[in-house]
A and B are shown apart, each in its own frame.
Chain A
Amino acid sequence: MNFLKRRFPIIIVLLTGVLIMIAYYVPHTPFSDFWDGASKWYQIIAGFTMVLGVVSLVRNHYRKIREGKQGFGYSIAMFVIMMATVAFGVLPTEISPIFGNRSGSVFMWIFEYINTAASATVYSLLAFYIASASYRAFRVRSLDATIMLVTALVVMVGRVPYGEIFSNYLTDHIGKGLAFLRLDNLTSFLLNYPTVATRRAITLGLGLATVSTSLRIILGIEKTYMGGDN
C-alpha cells in the first residue's frame, strides 16, 4: 500500500519523463504517437480538473451563505451569474441562437460586457499603480537602484515630445557630435545591447536551472509536490 502511495507515483513520473525525452529524439511510431498524444491528454485531464476548482469555490461561498455571514449576498450574485454563464454557454446553438458561443449569443454578450470590461479595467489599474510605485519606491537607495532609475527615466522621457525637443536642441544647437547623447539613440542602444546581453544571460541560466530542476523531479529528488503520506 505504501508502495502505491509513495513509490508508484514517482515511478510514473520517471517513466513518463524518460519516455517523452526519448520521444523528442526518436520520431518512430510508438514514441512519436506518445509525443503527439501527451499534450492532448494533458488538456483532457486539466479539463476535468476545472471542476475541482469550481467545487472548492462553491464550497467556500456556500459556507458563507449557509452561515449567513455578512456579505453572503455577493456570493449569491456570484452563483447566479456563474450558473447563467455556464447554462447559456453549454447549451448547443442548434436549440436557439442565444445559446452557444457564437457572436450574438448571450454567452458572448456576458463575456464582452462583463468579463472583458472588468479584465480591461483591472489591467488598466496598472497605469495607476506604476505611478504610485514610482513615487513610493523608485529611490536612489544604492548605485544599482540609481542606474536602474536613470535608465528608466531615459527610456521614458525619450518616448515623449519633450524628450525629442531636448534631443533636437542637443544636436542642433550644441553640436552634431552629441548625436549619441540623443535620448532616442540612448534608448535604442540600451534596448539593443545591454538588454539583449542580460536577457541572454538570464535565459541561459534559467535554461540550466530548468534542466536540472526537471532532472530533480524526474529522478524523484524534488517530490514535495506529492504531499504527505496520508
Chain B
Amino acid sequence: MIHRKRLYIVLVFFLFLAISAALYGQTSGTLTIPTNFQVIDTPSDSGDSLLVIFDKMPGESKDKSYIIYRSSSQDGAFTETARFESDKEYGSDNAQWFGFKKENSNFHAYKVSPIWQMKDVKIRSLGGKVETSQKRVKPLLSYYKIGVMEGIHTLAGTTALSGIPRENWFRKDRLNSMFILIFLFGIVFFFIAQAQRNPNMFLRKIPGIDAVDEAVGRATEMGKPILYSTGYYDISELSTICSVSILAHVAKKVAQYDSRLIVPCKWPVAMTVCQEVVREAYINAGRPDAFNPGDIFFIAGEQFSYTIGVDSIMVREKPAANFFMGTFAAEALILAETGAATGAIQIAGTDSNYQIPFFIVACDYCLISEELYAASAYLGRNPQLIGSLKAQDMGKMILFLALLLGTILLTLAVFFPDVKFFDVGIFNLIKNFFTVR
C-alpha cells in the first residue's frame, strides 16, 4: 500500500519535472520580437529624446526583459542603450504623453536619447592649464532596434527604425495650467476694469492692516524710531515686493509725522529699492532733507548674522514699533521675542506657514499668509489693486465650485462607472485636468 503511494508520489514528481522542463523550453525557445515597433519624437519636449513604442506581448514577466539597441547608421554596429523588465514601462505609466486612456496599457513606451554631435570646449583655468570638455551641438539621425531576452537567451530584432528628435512648439501636458493661467488673466483684467468704473468696493476689515497706522502713530508720540524688516528673500521674490509696497505706505506716514524709520536689509538690491521707496515718500511729504539713507542699510547677507544684527538694533535703538513683513524662516521667533522684550508694538506678516504660529504668539498682530499680499491693496486703496483682489476672490469662488462639483462627480463616477463624457469617463476627465504631468 504504502509503497504504491510512494510510487505515485515519485511519478507525480517526475511528471511535474517533465512539464516544467517542457514549459521552460517553450518560453525560452520562442522569444518573439514585439510587433508594431516604432520610433517617434517625444511629444512636447525640447527636442532631446525619442520614444520607442511597441506592443504589449503575451507572457511578459520580470524575468523577461526588453533591450533597445542604438546605432548611427542603418547597418552599422548596434549597441545596447537600455534594458528594462518586460512588465514595466507601459504607455499608461506616462500620462504626460498619452493621457489616461485604457488602451495605454496595451503598448510599451520607452524614452531613449539619440546620438549627439559633440563639440570640444576648452577651458583655461587661472593656473594656466587647459581642460577640454564636450558639449552637445545637435542630435543626429539615429537608428534603433529592439531585442528581447530571457535568462541566457537573447534575440535581437532585424528591423531598424530611425528617428531624430524635434523641438516641439507646445507643451501639451501643460495645457491645463495654461488654460487656468489665461482664465485668471481674464478675470484680473475684467475686475480691474470694473474697479476703475466704481472704485469704492467693499473690503472686509483685517485687524493687522488697520493696526499699521496706529503703530506708526504710537511710535511718533513716544518719539522713538520704527523698525521695518523685509524678510528672508531678495527683492525678486513676490513676498518681498509686497513687503516693499507696505513699506512705502509706512514711510509715507513716518514722513508726515516726522519720526525715524530704520530698515535693516538682508539683500543689497532690496536695500537700494527700500532707499528709493523711502526717499520718494519723504519727497512727496515735502521734506527730502529729513531723509537719511544711512538708516536704510545692509546688515548681513546670511540668515543668522542678519538676525543677530537686527536683534542688536532692537536692543540698542529700542524702536517703539517693529514690522516684520515678508518671508521669514527660523529667525522669526528670535526677532519677535527680542522685539517683545524691548516692549515694542509688533506687526508681522508672513507667507511661510510654519512661522505663522510663532508670530501669532509673539506679536500683537499677524497677517496670515496671503493677507500679506492683500495688504498693499488695502493700504494703497488703489482701484486697480482692489480689482485684482476681487479677481482673487472670484478665483477662490471657482476653486470652491471645482472642489464641490469635482468631489460630487467623482463620488457619482464611482457609483456609475460607465457614464461617458466625450470619450473618457468623468473620472478620467477630472483626473486628467487636475494632474501635474
Report yes or no: B351 in contact with A52, Cβ–Cβ below 8 A: no
Count, A-B residue pairs, CB within 8 A: 196
**Taking the complex as formed, is A211 at the interface, i.e. its CB lies under 8 A from any CB of chain B?**
yes
Report yes or no: B167 in contact with A205, Cβ–Cβ below 8 A: no
Complex: chain A residue closest to B188, CB-CB: A215
Report yes or no: A129 in contact with B337, Cβ–Cβ below 8 A: yes
Report yes or no: A25 in contact with B178, Cβ–Cβ below 8 A: yes
Residues of chain B with a CB closer than 8 A to A214's CB: 238
Report yes or no: A222 in contact with B353, Cβ–Cβ below 8 A: no
Closest CB in chain A relative to B310 CB, distance in Å: 11
Report yes or no: B184 in contact with A212, Cβ–Cβ below 8 A: yes
Closest CB in chain A relative to B261 CB, distance in Å: 15
Report yes or no: A50 in contact with B268, Cβ–Cβ below 8 A: yes
**Taking the complex as formed, is A192 at the interface, i.e. its CB lies under 8 A from any CB of chain B?**
no
Residues of chain A with a CB closer than 8 A to B294's CB: 60, 63
**Taking the complex as formed, is B360 at the interface, i.e. its CB lies under 8 A from any CB of chain A?**
yes
Known contacts: A60-B297, A209-B392. The answer to whether A222 contacts B385 by CB under 8 A is yes
Known contacts: A126-B333, A222-B376. The answer to whether A137 contacts B184 by CB under 8 A is no
Report yes or no: B369 in contact with A53, Cβ–Cβ below 8 A: no
Closest CB in chain B relative to A153 CB, distance in Å: 13
Interface of A, helix, strand, loop or mixed by DSSP: helix
The one of A57, A202, A210 that contacts B373, using a Cβ cutoff of 8 Å: A210
Report yes or no: A148 in contact with B188, Cβ–Cβ below 8 A: no
Residues of chain A with a CB closer than 8 A to B245's CB: 222, 224-225
Known contacts: A53-B271, A206-B370. The answer to whether A137 contacts B170 by CB under 8 A is no
Question: What size tier do the contact residues of chain A reach?
Answer: 35 or more
* B residues contacting the other copy or chain, number (CB 8 A): 84
Q: Give A193-212 as 1s and 0s: 1 = Cβ < 8 Å from B's Cβ atoms.
A: 00000010010111011111
Residues of chain B with a CB closer than 8 A to A221's CB: 192, 382, 384-385, 388
Known contacts: A27-B168, A118-B304, A205-B396. The answer to whether A133 contacts B337 by CB under 8 A is yes
The one of B178, B273, B369, B391 that contacts A212, using a Cβ cutoff of 8 Å: B391
Closest CB in chain A relative to B421 CB, distance in Å: 25
Report yes or no: B126 in contact with A94, Cβ–Cβ below 8 A: yes
Report yes or no: A52 in contact with B337, Cβ–Cβ below 8 A: no
**Taking the complex as formed, is B171 at the interface, i.e. its CB lies under 8 A from any CB of chain A?**
yes
Interface of B, helix, strand, loop or mixed by DSSP: helix
A205–B393 Cα gap in the complex (Å)? Answer: 9
Complex: chain A residue closest to B127, CB-CB: A94
Report yes or no: A212 in contact with B268, Cβ–Cβ below 8 A: no
Residues of chain B with a CB closer than 8 A to A49's CB: 268-269
A51–B268 Cα gap in the complex (Å)? Answer: 8
Residues of chain A with a CB closer than 8 A to B267's CB: 53
Report yes or no: B268 in contact with A123, Cβ–Cβ below 8 A: no
**Taking the complex as formed, is B342 at the interface, i.e. its CB lies under 8 A from any CB of chain A?**
no
The one of B276, B298, B361, B392 that contacts A227, using a Cβ cutoff of 8 Å: B276
Report yes or no: B241 in contact with A32, Cβ–Cβ below 8 A: no
**Taking the complex as formed, is A87 at the interface, i.e. its CB lies under 8 A from any CB of chain B?**
no
**Taking the complex as formed, is A228 at the interface, i.e. its CB lies under 8 A from any CB of chain B?**
yes
Name A's B-contacting residues (CB within 8 A). 21, 24-29, 32, 42, 46, 49-54, 56-57, 60, 63, 92, 94, 115, 118-119, 122-123, 125-126, 129-130, 132-134, 136-138, 148, 152, 199, 202, 204-206, 208-217, 221-222, 224-230
What are 23 A-to-B residue pairs whose CB atoms are below 8 Å?
A25-B171, A27-B171, A28-B168, A49-B269, A52-B268, A53-B268, A57-B297, A60-B294, A118-B308, A122-B334, A129-B337, A133-B336, A202-B353, A202-B368, A202-B369, A206-B351, A209-B369, A212-B392, A213-B241, A214-B238, A216-B384, A227-B280, A228-B284
Counting from the closest, the 9 A-B pairs by CB-CB distance are A227-B276, A228-B280, A53-B268, A52-B268, A27-B46, A53-B298, A129-B337, A209-B373, A209-B370
Further contacts, 9 of them, CB under 8 A, given A26-B170, A28-B168, A214-B238? A24-B171, A52-B268, A56-B271, A63-B294, A133-B358, A204-B396, A206-B351, A221-B388, A227-B279
